[in-house]
Amino acid sequence: MALPKEPRQKMINMMYLVLTAMLALNVSAEVLNAFKTVDKAINNSNTVIDEKNALTYESFKTKLEDPQTKAKAAEWAPKAEAAKKLTDDLYAKLEELKTEMKKGSGLRINEDGTESYKESDLNTPTMIMENQGKGTELYDQLVKYKADMMSIFDPNEFKDNQSFYNQYVKDIEQMTKSFPVDVNVPQSKSANNYSNDAKGWTATYFKMTPTVAAVTILSKIQNDLKNAEAMVADYCHAQVGSVKVVYDEFKVIAQPSTTYALQGDEIEITAGIGAFSKAALPEITINGAKQNLNADGTANYKFKAGSPGVHKVPVTIMYTKPDGTKVPVNKEIVYTVGVPSGASVFLEKMNVLYIGVENPLTISGGSTGSEKVSVAFDNGTLKKVSGDRYIAVPSKQGLSEIKVTANGKTYSFPMRIKTLPDPAVFVGGKRGGDMPSAEFKAMGAVIARLEDSDFEAPFKVVSYKVGVQGGPVQLYAEAQNQGNRWSGNAANLISRTGPGSKVFIEEIVVVGPDGRNRTLPGIIFTLK
């Protein structure tokens, strides 16, 4: 698999631009959230590369056992393992550095296992990377890492094979030139003290940089290391024989260069899939237009930000699975266009408003004080909490707008009002699959809740149907249940189940905070 090259530099450029914009915006919550989104995407990418590399190393083991490939594999496998060792060691140091930054910014581990810290902290990254000299130390380690990785390949090993030797030298030169880890400092047009060295590199990426951005930059460097490891391992493996990599999980990517812009600013959308085959490149449509693909299977769509408000760009990505089936995935890119020195609306949870829950917003009058700003909402209630903080509770679906009046000027911000998405259904903490019989019976109820949502939106289970077959219940039997807890005939039926029984929970009716009844898809458990 050819690893992407251009998106790597584009990501660095994007982060650099966002850092610049962030200083102008006083590190808004939306920018911090954008960094968290980028960091999550990078970590997901690292997982995909790790899985792909694992297949390569597994293939090396197979080839070491095959008499036909054993000799060549024994020659090249140690080189790949050396690349893995160098990468793992430096990757671990970067992980320790990320943890140190988070701790310096007040890291706490929440009850649900998630981390929280002061993401906007500008002092800790500067202190650790610049004042304590760890930026220079990391810079030197990255330079040494590249040199050590390239020293894995010694052309003199093949002096006796002149034809391969000549090609080998060219390959090494090409790998050195396109090596993913790059410590060159981007030239700033406004910088007077530009220095393309450890000092300049540290100042560019970590001086007065919020902790969440510094952590994201370190994650990006980890991603570069993984790409470098994959490049070396793939090359070594190619000298023995190609590996058959079959991807059965795909991550569809559609990412804007920024989610907040001013009128006339350029926005770029990058779309693609996390794993692809050159024989089955995706088909990508952005804003209704089919896009040309880059060599790495991604598409880039540039446009100018238009009128103020919240906007959406539809993206459709059609990819081919290993079994030949084509799967379309639809996404929406949401971005906000602001007005210089005028009013602005920042949605703190998502870029839509949801019926039935309190939607927190930050509404600013720009240079006008909050006491001189008036707001109006034509679809429900909008109450002021404090300062620029507001709570919106919409009443009906469709298009709406929030009007902000500041300095005698009224700005309109279009909003889309939606109902909350359907919740997921659980018995205990599982949505189906295998479960010990005794554990299943002990759960005693079906629950419904939103997954991966910032909103606390309780859903009540109204009713459902229980069906059982297998194990002690040889003939299929079913019973209706009212409420979320097992009761009546349904409880009796469940009490008869045992190992080998399949339990079908279907026709699940729930009601959410918006008062609307919903029927959810069923779940199936196999009792052990």
For the stretch 399-436, pLDDT in tens is 888 888 887 788 888 888 888 888 899 998 898 999 99
**Which residue is listed with tokens 């459902």?**
464
The answer, as to whether pTM is greater than 0.85, is: no
185-228, pLDDT tens digit by residue? 776 544 456 678 888 888 888 888 888 888 988 988 999 999 99
- If pLDDT is split at 50, 70 and 90, which confidence band does 348 have? very low
pLDDT computed for residue 194 by the predictor: 64
The gap between the terminal CA atoms of the chain, to the nearest Å, is: 41
pLDDT computed for residue 205 by the predictor: 84
Per DSSP, 157 falls in state G
Alpha carbons 528 and 526: distance in angstroms, whole number: 7
Across residues 456-482, what is the average pLDDT? 91
253-308, pLDDT tens digit by residue? 667 666 655 556 677 777 766 655 555 568 888 888 888 887 767 778 887 877 76
Burial of 278: CB neighbours in 10 Å, binned 0-12, 13-18, 19+: exposed
The pLDDT of residue 448 is above 50: yes
- Alpha-carbon Rg for the chain, nearest whole angstrom, is 28
| Best CA proximity match to 436, nearest among 523, 505, 522, 501 | 501
pLDDT computed for residue 468 by the predictor: 94
Put residue 428 in one of left, alpha, beta given phi > 0 → left and psi -120 to 50 → alpha: left
10 Å Cβ neighbour count for 414?
A: 14
pLDDT computed for residue 318 by the predictor: 84
The pLDDT of residue 243 is above 50: no
Q: What percent of the chain has pLDDT over 90?
A: 30
10 Å Cβ neighbour count for 170?
A: 11
Q: Which two tokens stand for residue 458?
A: 């309780």
pLDDT computed for residue 42 by the predictor: 80
The pLDDT of residue 13 is above 80: no
- Which are the contacts of 449, defined by CB distance < 8 A and separation ≥ 6? 423, 424, 426, 458, 459
pLDDT computed for residue 95 by the predictor: 92
Q: Is 448 helix (H, G, I), strand (E, B) or coil?
A: strand
- If pLDDT is split at 50, 70 and 90, which confidence band does 477 have? very high
502-520, pLDDT tens digit by residue? 999 999 999 988 888 999 9
Per the DSSP assignment, residues forming a β-bridge with 463 are 482, 509
91-119, pLDDT tens digit by residue? 999 999 999 999 998 989 888 888 888 88
b/e code 337-376 from CB counts within 10 Å (16+ = b): bbbeebbbbbbebebbbbbbbbbbbbbbbbebeeeebebe
Burial of 24: CB neighbours in 10 Å, binned 0-12, 13-18, 19+: exposed
Q: Which helix (H) or strand (E) holds 391?
A: strand 389-394
Per DSSP, 386 falls in state E
- Which are the contacts of 460, defined by CB distance < 8 A and separation ≥ 6? 448, 484, 510, 511, 512
- Which are the contacts of 431, defined by CB distance < 8 A and separation ≥ 6? 424, 425, 523
Which of 86-90, 160-164, 202-206, 422-426 shows the lowest per-residue confidence on average (mean pLDDT)? 160-164
pLDDT computed for residue 303 by the predictor: 79
Q: Which helix (H) or strand (E) holds 519?
A: strand 517-520
pLDDT computed for residue 128 by the predictor: 92
Across residues 311-329, what is the average pLDDT? 77
**Mean of the per-residue pLDDT values for the chain?**
81
- If pLDDT is split at 50, 70 and 90, which confidence band does 142 have? very high
The pLDDT of residue 34 is above 50: yes
